[in-house]
Amino acid sequence: QKEVEQDPGPLSVPEGAIVSLNCTYSNSAFQYFMWYRQYSRKGPELLMYTYSSGNKEDGRFTAQVDKSSKYISLFIRDSQPSDSATYLCAMNSGGYQKVTFGIGTKLQVIP
Amino acid sequence: GAVVSQHPSRVICKSGTSVKIECRSLDFQATTMFWYRQFPKQSLMLMATSNEGSKATYEQGVEKDKFLINHASLTLSTLTVTSAHPEDSSFYICSGTTEGTEAFFGQGTRLTVV
Helix (H, G, I), strand (E, B) or coil at A81: helix
The distance in angstroms from the start CA to the end CA of chain B is 36
Confidence check: pLDDT of A96 > 70? no
Over residues B54-109, the pLDDT tens digits come to 889 999 999 999 999 998 888 999 999 999 999 999 999 999 887 656 778 899 99
Q: B41 vs A34: CB contact, 8 Å cut-off? A: no
Chain A closest-CA separation from residue B101 CA (Å): 6
Query: Percentage of residues in chain B with pLDDT exceeding 70?
Result: 96
> CA of B18 to nearest chain A CA: how many angstroms apart?
22
Cα–Cα distance list, B88 to A27, A49, A74, B19 (Å): 31, 32, 33, 11
Query: Which of B1, B93, B108 comes nearest A46 by C-beta?
Result: B1
Tens digits of residue pLDDT in A11-61: 999 999 999 999 999 999 999 999 999 998 788 898 998 988 889 999 999
Give the residue from B60, B58, B85, B59 showing the smallest Cα distance to B69.
B58
Q: Identify the H or E element spanning A60.
A: none
Helix, strand or coil for residue A72?
Answer: strand
